[in-house]
Homo-oligomer: A and B are copies of this chain.
């Protein structure tokens, strides 16, 4: 019931870490449609995070269309078809990748070299273990 492992040494803001963790949990299917999220207060208390920070993360997730909040009731995972989710994952990945690839191009890295680097990184990250979703 309680997850969220925040790295307080990271330079990524705490609220961004929360957003990312929940986002990835939804994408991977760990959180399912209409499942309730812990209330802001509960999350803040159990994870020892400032309630304002949790609130900001929830707001961000709502803006991303990933959750919906019913005042006085709680926050819930928004229902999505698996196609919609897959599309979102691909779109998110592509956006992040384009920046890096464009930078590589500006650095003069030849297309074939870049592909080699990409595939080697994938092999390295996925090679560690076979659990693709954890």
In the bound complex, what is the Cα–Cα distance between A96 and B8 (angstroms)?
21
Copies of this chain, count: 4
Nearest CB of B to A32, in Å: 13
Residue A2 is within 8 A (CB to CB) of chain B in the complex: no
Interface size bucket, A side?
Answer: 35 or more
Which residue numbers of A lie inside 8 Å of B, CB to CB?
Answer: 8-9, 11, 13, 20, 24, 27-29, 63, 68, 70-71, 73, 89-90, 93-94, 96-98, 100-111, 114-115, 117-122, 124-126, 132-134
**Further 14 A-B residue pairs, CB within 8 A, beyond A101-B126, A111-B126, A118-B119:** A27-B107, A28-B108, A29-B108, A63-B63, A97-B121, A98-B124, A100-B100, A101-B121, A101-B125, A110-B133, A111-B132, A115-B118, A115-B122, A118-B122
